[in-house]
Structures are given as C-alpha cells and as structure tokens.
Amino acid sequence: MRLMPIALSLAIAAGTMASAGFGQQPDDVVDPRSQALVQEAQAHASAGRHNEAIDLLETALAVDPGNRGAYIALGRVAQAQRLPGKAIGFYADALRLEPNDVAALAAQGEAYVQRGAVDRARTNLTRVRSLCGQNCAPADQLAAAITRGPPAELAQSQSQPAPAQPPRRN
C-alpha cells in the first residue's frame, strides 16, 4: 500500500517516455508533400516563372519547415533574380538546419561571388573541400565561379569613383 504511489508514478513516467518520440519524424526525413512542391517549383524556376516558384517553395516550407532543399531552391531563385543578398540569407537558413550541407555551402559561395565578396566565397570553398574532398562537383562549380569573378556590372560599379556632390547651401 505504501509503495502504490511510487509504482504508479514510475508507470506513468515509463509510459510517457515510451511514447514521446512515437509521432515524430527524424530531422533528415522530409515530408513527401513538401518534396513534391519543391520539384514543381524547380520546374517553374527553370521555365523562368520565378514568382510561381517562390509561392510553391514557401508553401513547401509551410508544410515542412525543415526542408533544406526548399531553402536552397529559394536561394537559387533569388540568384536568378539577381538578388544575391537574399540568396545568401536563404542558404544561411539551410545551413542552420545542417551546418555541413555541401550544396548549401557551395551555393552560398556562388552568391557571395555574385555579390562581390570573393574572399567569403573562398572561405566557403575551403570548407566544401574539407567536407567532400578534392574531386567534388559542388567544390568544382564554386571554384569556377570564383575564377570567373563577380559580374561585370558589379566590377564596373566598384571601380568607378563616386560622383562628386554639389556644395551645400546654407
């Protein structure tokens, strides 16, 4: 009789621990509906329909916020729209979920090059090579982007001096 409350509390605790992870998926399992939306969005993006792709990718993230592929695809769309700063943010979101995601690191490096931050891109290249070795397609693509350098219009705008401002009148 005196041990009944202890036995009852142990039984409840054991039942709770056994069922705690029962309904949860592992972190690396992506909801199939979210994956299907990402594939559909990639088809729209490759056809140049960026707004439709963005809508589908945002829906994919609403279905499964842990879908790194959706963040990477959003970054690719942002790069296609010549928005490297926004792309870098999406790749950072993917890297928060998995810091060693080689695809996200390489794509972020390409966005750094597009923005003109070649030194940061080289840092990403070093990290990508440390994760996947020397013969790695993402590392080779990032190295080629670094070799090409930033877009010509960015290089021109950085090399031109700022226009002189007229004197102020009081």
Sequence letter at residue 163: P
Cα Rg of the chain (Å, integer): 24
- Residue 150: CA atoms inside 13 Å, Cβ hemisphere, count? 19
- 164 in Cβ contact with 157 (< 8 Å): no
Spatial separation of the C-alpha atoms in residues 109 and 149, rounded to whole Å: 11
Query: pTM for the complete prediction?
Result: 0.75
pLDDT tens by residue, the chain, 170 residues: 676 667 666 666 656 655 444 444 455 688 999 999 999 999 999 999 999 999 999 999 999 999 999 999 999 999 999 999 999 999 999 999 999 999 999 999 999 999 999 999 999 999 999 998 878 999 999 999 999 999 877 655 555 555 556 666 65
